[in-house]
Chains A and B, each alone.
Chain A
Amino acid sequence: MFLTNRNAFFIFLGGTAISLAIFLWLTVDTHRQVDALTHAEKLSDQVVAGKHVWEKKNCNECHTILGFGVYYAPDMTRVYKRIGPAGIKAAVMSPEVTFASSIRKMPNLGVTEQENADLTAFLEWVGNIDNHDWPPQDTEEAMSASQRRLAGAGLSRGASAFQENCIRCHSLGGSGGSNGPALDSIGDKYNAGTISRLIAEPASVQPGSRMMAFPDISESDRQAIGEFLAKQGGGQ
């Protein structure tokens, strides 16, 4: 009979060797290509510092990145493109405000300004890794689809600034986040200048507001957002 114990042993050795050879060969190939695929020339010390922050603050124990980690909170692979540096800052530095009305909360991890800057650099670098356009919800195509849905043919400066900074929490025409109120009819209440002031310092317009302040958004951008929102007018 062919299948003696001795032959079975050789099948074991042979099969293992073939599979191992393929595996190791592709591993070598991965090392050859990974610098180009991950844009290693942009992997600065600040990016590495950001990776340390990512690990120190245990981010991966709730979030996935490149789809790996824990499925309790959103994937961070393309977060830089999805919500931008202002969105990252709002989530990381004051989660208790940003996620006040979310069904799932994020702990305040006491991240410093410097740590946030490093982390943001890290997430920006990760966002450019060429990983065959994963995740599906954050592909270029998916993102441009949501842009089209929001703004029609082209984006005015105010609309694009709104999209970059506000849409994560606020919605317009049914698109956007639900942490803050929908802004379709804010034009009935405030004019452009008031909205601009509200963005920089919410409490100056609405005492006791839960919204976080965005003094880092330039005054001209704030004004453009204000003009864009003021003319939306939900009344009609």
Chain B
Amino acid sequence: MSTPFTTMSPSTGGLGMGPRDPKLVPYASQRVAYWYFVSALALFTLQVIVGLWLAISYAFTIPQSVVDVLPFGMTRAMHTNLLVLWMLLGFMGGTYYLVPEEAEREIYSVKLAYFQLLAFLATGVAALVGFTFGWTQGRPLLEIPTPLDFIVVVGALIFLFNVAMTVIKGKKTAILGMLLGGLTFLALLYLFGMPFYRNLSIDWFYWWWVVHLWVEGAWELVTAAILAFVLIKITGVDRKVIEKYLYIETALFLFTGLAGTGHHYYWLGAPRAWLWIGGIFSAMEVLPIIAMVIDSFLTQRRHGIAINNKVVWTFALGTAVGHLVGAGVFGFAHTLPQINYYTHGSQITASHGHLAFFGAYALLNLTMFWYAMPRLRGISQFRSSAALWGFWIMCLSILGIGIAMGVAGVIQTYVERVMGEGFMTAQGYMQLWFKVVLFFGVIMLGGLILTFWNIMTGKQSKEQQ
């Protein structure tokens, strides 16, 4: 374990957190992260609950009277916006947790950090309530209306300012550089999703600047930095070694991911050159993920004994493997234009989306939650059995969801795109598989509630550390 740094600011003892143990949480301002993590977990739970309703809507015929009052589109917007919001709050909380330890000083302004959390939560609530009244921009994932967009931008600027000021005044590390770079990139890209575009093709072109360059660019930087921080803390590996792989892996992520955006530009009315560039670069997107998985397992082999936190290590390994399966393999499966011509805009995409978001980003966030939350609650070593149950229930149920959606997607691709039957004819054959999705969705919710409960209330382990 790294030695705690000097800090003596008195702990304020917020709701739900015990008194701060400086051996576990060296800086008082790290405690800001607690409320970010709790909010993120609550919103994640809500996201899965809304998801169950979506699965029901796919699996069964919903009567016209219900559809008129509660349109599918409204609840789907909630499902995806909850996803974005909880993950961003998770990243921000993770950032606030790790920056003091890396920069070796307190966060520039704790008040701004809390204010910014409230601003994001208020925006989220306003957006969700707004959706029920049809207050929307009507563009998937970027639904929130322009006035709320501006609040998001202000919140993001406050966040960046707060983090940058902390870093400028403190120690500068490679992890902090990567993190700040990723966060700035993330905020800049959001701006491309805000204007109204007259031309639908251009509209979708820049929509992907937000969505693709987030998940296959900016978010990769942020999560690589967070993961590097956690790995340094829980394995005995030298910082220099981890930093080097941080550079190599993010180099590969950006090299393949930036031009790889082209795999979304095949069929939207853009030049044919994108089919080549998008196909070639996105086919390579799996490489950095493979490197990440090999790297993780080698680390385990070499430093197996030094790993001091089994739960966090399981989630970290799960992130690498989940990333590979969801983003790497399921992404690669339909990224070449010859295949994508038939699978584009089908349930294959939904299958990939669920596995990739969970494998790469939900597990990453949970890794950080599992590292930081026990410490924030004053627990040095966690009882691991329930945590591992949560891990496996969630991982296996999302795998079930992804595979069932994938089977539905293959049916859809064949019946609708190859045979030329009607959309609804294909959906009829697919309904059984959405019932399977619903089944695994219920189990997923169980695993998540178990995890949430355990993170909030779990006890100190009596076993030897």
Residues on A close to B: CB < 8 A? 3-5, 8-9, 11-12, 14-16, 18-20, 22-23, 26-27, 29-31, 33-34, 37-38, 40, 43, 48, 51, 54-62, 64-75, 95-96, 99-100, 102-109, 126, 129-132, 134-137, 142, 145-146, 177
Of all A-B residue pairs in the complex, the 7 with the closest CB atoms, nearest first, are A61-B73, A55-B138, A67-B345, A134-B267, A15-B255, A8-B247, A74-B423
**A-B contact sample (5 more), CB < 8 A, given A100-B64, A134-B266:** A61-B136, A67-B344, A103-B431, A109-B71, A142-B420
Asked whether, in the complex, the Cβ of B248 is within 8 Å of the Cβ of A8, the reply is yes
Residue B139 is within 8 A (CB to CB) of chain A in the complex: yes
Please judge, given known A-B contacts A62-B76, A135-B345, whether A26 and B274 are in contact too, CB under 8 Å: yes
- B421 vs chain A, min Cβ distance (A): 8
Query: Which residues of the partner chain A approach B137 to less than 8 Å between Cβ atoms?
Result: 55
Query: Which residues of the partner chain B approach A109 to less than 8 Å between Cβ atoms?
Result: 71
Asked whether, in the complex, the Cβ of B344 is within 8 Å of the Cβ of A30, the reply is no
**When the two chains form the complex, which single residue of A9, A29, A108 contacts B247, counting CB atoms closer than 8 Å?**
A9
- Stretch of B22-30, B202-210, B361-369, B456-464 on the interface side: B202-210
Residues on B close to A: CB < 8 A? 57-58, 61-64, 67-68, 71-74, 76-77, 134, 136-140, 143, 174, 198-202, 204-205, 207, 240, 243-244, 247-248, 250-252, 254-259, 261-262, 265-275, 277, 281, 341-342, 344-347, 349-350, 416-418, 420, 422-424, 427-428, 431
Chosen A-B contacts, 19 in total, with CB atoms closer than 8 Å, are: A9-B247, A15-B251, A19-B259, A31-B202, A37-B269, A43-B199, A59-B138, A60-B140, A61-B74, A67-B267, A68-B140, A103-B428, A103-B431, A104-B427, A105-B61, A131-B201, A131-B268, A136-B341, A146-B420
Chain B residue with minimal CB distance to A136? Answer: B417
Query: Which of B72, B137, B205 counts the most A-chain CB atoms under 10 A from its CB?
Result: B72
Asked whether, in the complex, the Cβ of A132 is within 8 Å of the Cβ of B267, the reply is yes
Query: Which residues of the partner chain A approach B270 to less than 8 Å between Cβ atoms?
Result: 30, 33-34, 37
Chain B residue with minimal CB distance to A168? Answer: B422
Query: Which residues of the partner chain B approach A106 to less than 8 Å between Cβ atoms?
Result: 67
CA distance A103 to B428 in the complex (A): 7
CA distance A202 to B342 in the complex (A): 39
Asked whether, in the complex, the Cβ of B72 is within 8 Å of the Cβ of A145, the reply is no
**When the two chains form the complex, which single residue of A15, A57, A132, A142 contacts B138, counting CB atoms closer than 8 Å?**
A57
- A137 vs chain B, min Cβ distance (A): 5
CA distance A29 to B275 in the complex (A): 14
Asked whether, in the complex, the Cβ of A69 is within 8 Å of the Cβ of B140, the reply is yes
- A229 vs chain B, min Cβ distance (A): 21
Asked whether, in the complex, the Cβ of A61 is within 8 Å of the Cβ of B346, the reply is no
**When the two chains form the complex, which single residue of A29, A105, A108, A137 contacts B271, counting CB atoms closer than 8 Å?**
A29
